[in-house]
Every structure is written in structure tokens, then in C-alpha cells.
Amino acid sequence: MEKVQRTWRRIVKLFEVNSIVEELTGAEALVKALIRERVEVIFGIPGGATIPIYDYLYDVDEIRHILVRHEQCAAHMADGYARASGKTGVCMATSGPGATNLVTGIATAYMDSTPIVAITGQVPTSMIGKDAFQETDIIGITASITKHNIQPVKPEEVPLAVRKAFYIASTSRPGPVLIDMPKDVQIKKGKISFEGEIRLHSLCSNPKVDEKKVESISRILLNAETPFILAGGGVIKANASRELMKISEFLRAPVATTFMGKGGFPENHELSLGPIGMHGTYAANRLIREADVLLAVGVRFSDRTTGETESFSSNLEIIHVDIDRAEINKNVRADHSLLTDVKTGLDMLYRKLRGIGSQKNRKKWVKRVSEMKENSERIQAPPIGKINPPRLLKLLRKLLPEKAIVTTEVGQNQAWAALYFKVYHPRTFITSGGLGTMGFGFPAALGAKVAKPNEPVVDIAGDGSFLMTCQELATSVREEIPVVVVIFNNRVLGMVAQWQRLFYGRRYSQVNLGETPDFVKLAKAFGAEGIRVETYEDFKEAVKEGLRNNVTTVLDVIISPEENVFPMVPPGKSLDDMITGG
């Protein structure tokens, strides 16, 4: 077990540039500091408490500002931008409601460890705590959903606050940081210097790895009869896909991913099992029960991944590699752990494995893997409506280039996409894995498209989710950010309906959405394109048209409200209790 008692940390020097002292306002200092951080784009909406910042931005060419229609989407766009590019995303909102509207987006980024910096306006320092117009204690509100938050109280503090925010957001396990800018701090002039250093006690970018542990873990892996790899979002964040593949191929160990890890290992690889868990593949959920050693990398063992944890870890020797010490032994007890950046950890393991060399013969295991993968393909729920979502997603895969980026909303659309849309490259599958935020996919798609303008971006949506953030069609049209939205339109809140169908005796309480709106007309009203899809043929044509269009294209795909996502592990149950529906 990892020793937890003593946690002295290093002091990190951050900021040592020779810079002249300039007389600047806090707003100018903020924007100049953002330019120094090489921020290319800010997603935001101005308001009373951010006008000084916007006034300065008016003359700035280095930063593109994308005017969104709801602050929640500014955060989701920054998040999608960050996930697609690996850079830190930036969003901005005014005080009060602007700031609170960011909260869902910040919490989403926090749960999925995405580096974003959120900037909020605040009432002047003299008014704070007096319930001023559009005042809210956003520092207090976001304390538990950010890695850190900062409120500079003098213009002189702004440059270091920005440097600190970007450093914290992107270092070690990434996450959101919020900077709250009181209006008087934006307006006041100060002697601003971009020089200095910050001492950060609680952040270690790369803890030292114990060589002896690497060796003992390597021996366990080499001696395993049926090793199994579980890859999470940490693999993608650490850009460790190549290292992961080397280890998998060397050990001949199959790789299952979490929803967040999808894309970290190419799903057309013979050792890929696809996602595991509540909506994992048949092969992944079954084969983990036959494994003797589990190498879990960059995962936090979410309940959606493990199902009931006791049966998950029984008869399984677990090796956990992660950068966050608070994740070790949190949800699942690890027999061995490596506290390190995933890339470094995997690289050290791979070298040690090769150095030692001799290992168990795993021909049988590999054969078993391919057998189970074939079974997995065969077991499928019988189609219900005219269009079967799994089949449609397989078709979509064929229509899109390999590196196209797919985002999802949350619910059945997300689970279908995870199960049936194969992903070959990291950062090309973007989903709200932890918080499960409906309405995330569309703004995230816009953010991803801004980061990767040359790649097609497709949001796989449901009608319920899409309606939560569809006003961003206006943003996409006006800012010329064309994406394709595929709505699985079943006129119900599908995943809740599925649970009601399977576990609540078909008592469909408050899930029927009805025939409104007409998504084709809705898209057109915004100046986007809308196409109704009722057959596979329609779909093919519509996707091709969507990819050609230079405006966002919404495909309204009519499916049956009776469709279920299978396989499924009932909530709170063991992976063994998987329902295949086939």
C-alpha cells in the first residue's frame, strides 16, 4: 500500500523572465498575460463586470474571441478545445449569473480532468459581501469543482495569477482553474511586471518512481497467465498511447478502455476489447473475469467502469499506475501501485519488461481473446425500429475519415457511440465521462472544431440532450464553425426510459418529450442546415452533405423509442450480471 502520511512537496519556480515594469490596468495585464500563455481563443459572453477586459480585447489581434449564447457552453467549448488539442482552453463570463452558468461546465471539466482556465468578472472589491447587483461568491461556489481558484485584489497580482492558473490547470493531473477578477482590479492601474516566481507546494509534475517497484511489477506481469490492461483518460492526457501499445503487444495483453480512455488504444487492433463497464463490450466484461493480473493505467476505477467493486477485484492482482496519489486505493484496492505520469510509468515498465525478457507463453490467451471478440460481434440485440443505432454508427465510421473527431451527448447516444463507433486515435473521441452532462457534446464539438479546423467534427446526440444547448447553433453559424450533429431522435429521454423499462416495470415517468421541436426547421431557423433521416440510404447522403457543407448540419435521425443499449450491467451490479439483450 502507498504510504500516505507524509507529503512534503517540492517548491516549483515558475516564472523568470526579464520584463520591464509597465503602467497597466488590471484588464490590460490580464489580456497581456493571456497572450504570453499563447492563448489563441477565448469562449465567452461579456457583461457588466467584464466590460473593461472586453474593451481592451477590442483592439487585440492575437486572441480570437468566440461569442457564445450561454456561459455553460463557453466552458464546454473550452473543454472540447482542450480535449481535442491538448492545450488549455479558456472561457470567460461576467459576475453573478454569468459565473454560476459556468459551473456545470467547470464541474464537467473537473470530473474529466480537462485543463481549462475560467475567467469571471466580479463586483468591485468594495462591494463584495454586500449582495451587490450580480454578485455571487464564485470562489466559494467553485472551490470543490476546481483544482484551484484565485481572486487577485490588486492589478499587480494579475500576471502571476494567470501564470499560476495555467501552470496548475495543465500540470500533473490536469483540471479547471478559475480566476475571479473584481471590476476595480480590472480598471485600476498598477506597476505591472511579468517577472517573478511562485511557490507551489502541492504540485509535483513528475514524482520519482521507485525502480525496485518497477522491477517487481514487471515480474508480476511477465509471470501472469492472463494479463489484462485497463486504460483510462490518463493515457490520452499523458500522450502515452504509443507506450501503451508497446506494452500490450509485448505482453500479448488485451486492452479495454474506460469511456475516457476510448481512443487511447486503436479499436481496430487485434488486442483491443473496446470499452468495459456498465456499457462495455461483451468481450471486455467477460474477459476481465478470466484475467489474473490487471494493469490499470490512468484510471480512477469509476463505478461505471467497475460495476460492483468487490467482485471486480476478486481473484485479480491489481497494478495501478496513476499520477494522482489520491486515486490509489480510493475506489478499488491496488495490490501494487506506481505513482507517476502514465507515459513515464509505462515507458519504464516496458524497458524493464524487455530487459528481463522471458515470460509466460500466452498463445492460448490471445486465442481466447479473439474468440471472445468474435462472440462479442455476434451477440446483438434484435433491431426494433427501421434504423438500428449500432448499425448506423458502424456506417458512420465508414463515412468518416480516421482522424475525424466525434463528441457525444449523454445517455443512450453516448453508450451506443462508446460501444459501436470504433475510434482509432487519441483525442478523437470526446465525451462527458464523469459528470455525465447532457448538452455537453454540441458545444464541445464546436470547441474541438476550433482546435482542429481541418478535421470533420461530429456530435452524436439525442433529442433530449441536444435541446439543452441547441442555442449554440447561432454561435456555430455566426462564428463559422461547421460541425455535423447526428440526433438519435426517439422523442424520449432514452436512457431513463430504458431503466424504467428494465427495472421499473415500464412505468415511463416524465420521459416523453413528444414530437416537438422539428429539428430540421429548428436548424434552418438558426441559418444552419437540417436534414431528416429515415433510412440508411438517407443517412449516407446526409452525412456526405454535412461534411461538404460550410454550415453546421443537423441530421434528425428517427429511431424507435423502444430501443435499448446492450450490453448493459445493471447499476450497482457486478460485471458478471451483464445483460446482452441478444
Which residue numbers are catalytic? 71, 133-134, 183, 495
Q: Annotate 216-248 with b (16+ C-beta within 10 A) or e (fewer).
A: ebbebbbebebbbbbbbbbbbbbebbebbbbbb
The span from the CA of 26 to the CA of 184, in Å, is 8
The span from the CA of 393 to the CA of 406, in Å, is 11
What are the strands, taking DSSP E only, across 88-188? Answer: 89-93, 116-122, 148-150, 177-182
The span from the CA of 574 to the CA of 87, in Å, is 37
Q: Which residues bind other proteins (CB under 8 A)?
A: 4-9, 139-140, 143-144, 147-148, 168, 200-203, 324-326, 328-330
The span from the CA of 198 to the CA of 50, in Å, is 26
Cβ atoms within 10 Å of 25's Cβ, excluding its own: 21
Count how many residues are written for the chain.
Answer: 582
203 or 316: CB nearest other proteins: 203
Cell of 140: 466559494
328 or 423: CB nearest other proteins: 328
Q: What's at 431, amino acid-wise?
A: T
Query: Are the C-beta atoms of 115 and 88 separated by less than 8 Å?
Result: yes
Query: Are the C-beta atoms of 419 and 278 separated by less than 8 Å?
Result: no
Residues 6 or more apart in contact with residue 406 via CB below 8 angstroms? 400, 417, 421, 423, 428, 429, 430, 457, 458, 459, 460
Cell of 48: 457588466
Closest CA to 95 of 114, 115, 118, 77: 118
Cβ atoms within 10 Å of 1's Cβ, excluding its own: 10
Cell of 311: 467482485
Return phi, psi of residue 120, to 5°: -120, 150
Cβ atoms within 10 Å of 195's Cβ, excluding its own: 13
Say whether the peptide bond before residue 159 is cis (omega within 30 degrees of 0). Answer: no
Question: Number of helices and strands (H, E) in the chain?
Answer: 23, 20
The span from the CA of 496 to the CA of 500, in Å, is 6
Say whether the peptide bond before residue 517 is cis (omega within 30 degrees of 0). Answer: yes
Measured from the CB of residue 327, what is the shortest distance to other proteins in angstroms?
9
The span from the CA of 226 to the CA of 203, in Å, is 36
